[in-house]
Structure 1
Amino acid sequence: MAKDKKLVQSGNCNGCGICVTVCPTNTKLSKAEDFDINTAKLAVHVTNGAAVVDYNTCIACGICSKNCPVGSLAMVQL
């Protein structure tokens, strides 16, 4: 992840999953031959109706925050 910014999430996520589909890290992982949605270390995924960010995998590109229809995800400078 970028050292000067971080992805943060508010409580208004509706679990739509758009962030999961637009994430370049997730896209790259999903193209692997041995990709398994149940075991992959996705940068962002939806669990219990809300997006969950894996800060060890997220590259802080901000694409998910730009595509979030409810403004739940945002990039902040550290």
Structure 2
Amino acid sequence: MTKRSRDSKGRFDSSAAYSDQEFIDAVGELDLPTTVDVANVVGCGHSTAHGRLKSLEDSGDLESRSVGSALVWSVT
């Protein structure tokens, strides 16, 4: 069994498993990509995708808008 790294709060560190570029590429390749769509393409869980997408939005790489009850992502 491979030991996964943990962050300072003891949670598994998902940043080691998936690169930022994988999320950016998934958003760029999909039409009106929701968080669930990106999670499916990258191969991670919804909460992992949501956290990473929000982080990329905070850093200015992505932007989101609400469409109904979903967030739709786009590359800036």
Normalization by structure 1: what TM-score?
Answer: 0.28
**Greater Cα radius of gyration, structure 1 or 2:** 2
**Structure holding more strand per residue:** 1
- Structure number with greater CO (CA < 8 Å, separation at least 6) is 1
